[in-house]
């Protein structure tokens, strides 16, 4: 009965997606990312000069609206190359390939910043569910689940020793107005923050947080504790 109530309220959707994303993907690729970044940096020393940016920058749009081609989403984001592939045999698939793409992001001064960036792919599932009548998943459900996905993933990664220092979560709400370079500005802010952490600058020169960027504190205020997945048993049974 408790399980049925949980399913009807869709409390398990984001929680399950976050764990699946971590166990089936991030836990595999993130521990190997630093080595790939180091190999690329040795061959291209001028592109990845700041070691703090040697991370996978994971985009988490709370709308769950994902563009498969980042270059089409924002012309200031240009594909550069792929990092070294990781090949593993997984779940019956021989030589399964995992790889990350490196992008050059142009700022307002035409300076290029380089980083590995990609969307959190489980958000595509949340979006598809909201478009499928069989799922009975509303737009409001989708947004709440996107917030819960972010919070759950953040907590999982914080506890992961293997993934420490190898990722940067970028959660954001998109502006209602059409802004052609919205996405590149979001990523650039995080890159600039990491540069400031490695090369301290005076406080007055530090970049300001975009109004659309969200942190876990803001997200937690928007989600009540009742939205979190509940255990199927309690001490009373």
Q: What is the pLDDT of residue 116?
A: 97
> CATH code at 50?
3.40.50.12100
Q: What is the pLDDT of residue 213?
A: 58
Dihedral sign of CA atoms 43, 46, 52, 57 in order = negative
pTM of the predicted structure, to 2 decimals: 0.81
Residue 235 resides in a domain: no
Cα–Cα distance measured from residue 177 to residue 81, given in angstroms and rounded to the nearest whole number:
31
Residue 15 resides in a domain: yes
Residue 55 resides in a domain: yes
Structural domain total, the chain: 1
Residue 112 resides in a domain: yes
What are the two backbone dihedrals, phi and then psi, of residue 164, each rounded to the nearest 5 degrees? -60, 130
Residue 48 resides in a domain: yes
Residue 210 resides in a domain: no
Query: How many helices and strands in the chain, by DSSP H and E?
Result: 8, 7
- The two most distant CA atoms of the chain are separated, in Å, by 63
Q: What is the mean pLDDT of the chain?
A: 82
Q: What residue has token string 């109530």?
A: 5
- pLDDT under 70: residue ranges of the chain: 1-11, 134-136, 175-177, 198-237
Structural domain of 52: 8-198
Residue 213 resides in a domain: no
Q: What is the pLDDT of residue 39?
A: 92
Residue 214 resides in a domain: no
Cα–Cα distance measured from residue 154 to residue 168, given in angstroms and rounded to the nearest whole number:
10
Beta strand ranges found along 91-237 (DSSP E): 93-98, 101-106, 112-119, 167-172
């Amino acid at each position: 009965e408790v399980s049925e109530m949980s399913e009807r309220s869709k409390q398990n959707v984001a929680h399950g997606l976050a764990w699946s994303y971590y166990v089936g993907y991030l836990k595999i690729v993130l521990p190997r990312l630093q080595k790939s970044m180091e190999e690329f940096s040795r061959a291209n020393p001028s592109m990845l000069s700041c070691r703090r940016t040697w991370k996978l920058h994971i985009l988490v749009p709370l709308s769950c609206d994902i563009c498969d081609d980042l270059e089409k989403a924002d012309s200031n984001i240009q594909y550069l190359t792929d990092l070294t592939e990781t090949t593993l045999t997984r779940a019956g698939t021989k030589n399964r390939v995992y790889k990350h793409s490196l992008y050059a992001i142009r700022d307002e001064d035409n300076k290029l910043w380089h980083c590995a960036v990609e969307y959190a792919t489980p958000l595509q599932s949340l979006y598809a569910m909201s478009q499928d009548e069989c799922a009975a998943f509303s737009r409001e459900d989708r947004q709440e689940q996107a917030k819960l996905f972010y919070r759950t993933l953040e907590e999982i990664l914080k506890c992961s020793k293997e993934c420490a220092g190898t990722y940067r979560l970028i959660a954001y709400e998109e502006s209602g107005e059409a802004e052609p370079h919205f996405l590149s500005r979001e990523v650039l802010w995080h890159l600039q923050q990491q540069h400031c952490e490695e090369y301290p600058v005076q406080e007055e020169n530090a970049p300001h947080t975009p109004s659309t960027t969200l942190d876990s504190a803001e997200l937690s205020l928007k989600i009540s504790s009742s939205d979190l997945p509940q255990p199927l048993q309690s001490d009373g049974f």
